[in-house]
Amino acid sequence: MQTTTDTLPERARPAGAVLPPLRIGPITVDTPVVLAPMAGVTNAAFRRLCRESGAGLYVAEMTTSRALVERSPESLRIISFEPDEVPRSVQVYGVDPATVGAAVRMLVEEDRADHVDLNFGCPVPKVTRRGGGAVLPWKRDLFASIVRAAVDAARPAGVPVTVKMRKGIDEDHLTYVEAGLTAQDAGVAAVALHGRTAADYYSGTADWDAIATLKEAVTDIPVLGNGDIWSAEDALAMVEHTRCDGVVVGRGCQGRPWLFADLAAAFAGSPERIRPGLEEVAAVVRRHAELMVEHFGEESKALREMRKHMAWYFKGYVVGGELRAQLGLVSSLAELDDRLARLDHDQPYPGAPAEGQRGRAGSPKRPILPYGWLDSRELSDEFRRELHEAELSVSGG
């Protein structure tokens, strides 16, 4: 098994490897790669495909602390893991220290997680308008309180807590260095930085210089880099540019779970890469659909969830507009089989057209913030009362 939870005295670098294994508390990740949580994507089915392809730490979809405390069926589905999935990695979002602490305590006392990641990177309006996600570290006392609550709740079980964040709200309100040092002081096991602000959303180019800056500032724990890793070569370039201890991969693996095989090879110093022809891609799509049916227990729901993956899987391949549209409307395994059979299975890997950016990008957006959020770095009593109930309006996924 390439990801273990045994303790080692040192992080020795294997011969030929680009980096030593990543240590997150008691967890050792031989290939220093983390799958970023993505709502509606990184469920147990997709994580299995990634795990079968390569090595790394695979984090489940984000869920809210309140949903966990209230044991919503969706939140419990999100944190369900297969028996052979080790370590079990859960990402929690929250804006109230007491609720976050209670959620983490539930996870560790009921032995539901081996690793907890805290989300301070989400830029979507339904999160930021409540003061959460990427805009929360602006309130430094609130950020510190949430991180300490999570670390304190996880410590008795020896479960490591990590933090994933963005640079800040916008270029005029950067928080990442201060937040990284605060998280380190609070006892987290690692910090990950997406090199964009909340205002950047997913647009433009990730700021790898910011990751390098954070690495220079935070010296006692691993610093992971996130943003614009579309290939194994991008991951190597980020490490070279930033000296980070590992990378976090999000949109780059959408429709390409085999990217983790490329990453494992690259970090081991091997030039081997996966370049699938259309027949191989079709086989992965079919297996993904089967795993989704197993995960959801309902074929129609599973196939509806598969639709978003079709454009990602077939990016760059010659499929034809009509068939591509039909694949995006598939509603059963029988329909999927019929449409996959109509592909040109002899078509080789298309090269550059299949590479590069995938998933959402868009343009910069002015973050939607609570009224008066930028007026002070401290949390007023009024904001504190509002935040206590804020998670009620954020879904468990």
Which tens digit of pLDDT belongs to each residue from 40-99? Answer: 899 999 999 999 998 899 999 999 999 999 999 999 999 999 999 999 999 999 999 999
pLDDT digits (tens, 9 = 90+) for 210-232: 999 999 999 999 999 999 999 99
pLDDT digits (tens, 9 = 90+) for 236-262: 999 999 999 999 999 999 999 999 999
Please report the pLDDT score of residue 388 as a whole number: 65
Residue ranges of alpha helices (H) inside the chain are 44-53, 65-69, 73-78, 97-109, 125-128, 140-154, 176-186, 208-217, 232-242, 259-267, 278-296, 299-313, 321-327, 333-341, 381-388
Q: Per the confidence metrics, is the pTM higher than 0.85?
A: yes
End residue of a domain, out of 231, 252, 271? 271
Residues 144 and 37 in one domain: yes
Confidence category of residue 163, pLDDT binned at 50, 70, 90: very high
Residues 177 and 120 in one domain: yes
SS (H, E, C) 351-375: CHHHCCCCCCCCCCCCCCCCCCHHH
Is 364 a domain residue?
Answer: no
How far apart, in whole angstroms, are the C-alpha atoms of residue 281 and residue 54? 16
The total number of structural domains in the chain stands at: 2
Is 69 a domain residue?
Answer: yes
Residues 171 and 233 in one domain: yes
Please report the pLDDT score of residue 379 as a whole number: 85
Residues 223 and 321 in one domain: no
Q: Which domain holds residue 333?
A: 278-349
Residues 100 and 204 in one domain: yes
Q: List the catalytic residues.
A: 122
- Provide the token pair at 382: 């009024």
Average pLDDT, the chain: 92
Q: Is 248 in contact with 192 (CB distance < 8 Å)? A: yes
Is 202 a domain residue?
Answer: yes
155-159, 266-270, 382-386: least confident range: 382-386
End residue of a domain, out of 271, 298, 319? 271
Q: What percent of the chain has pLDDT over 70?
A: 93
Residues 188 and 266 in one domain: yes
Residues 171 and 290 in one domain: no
Is 11 a domain residue?
Answer: no
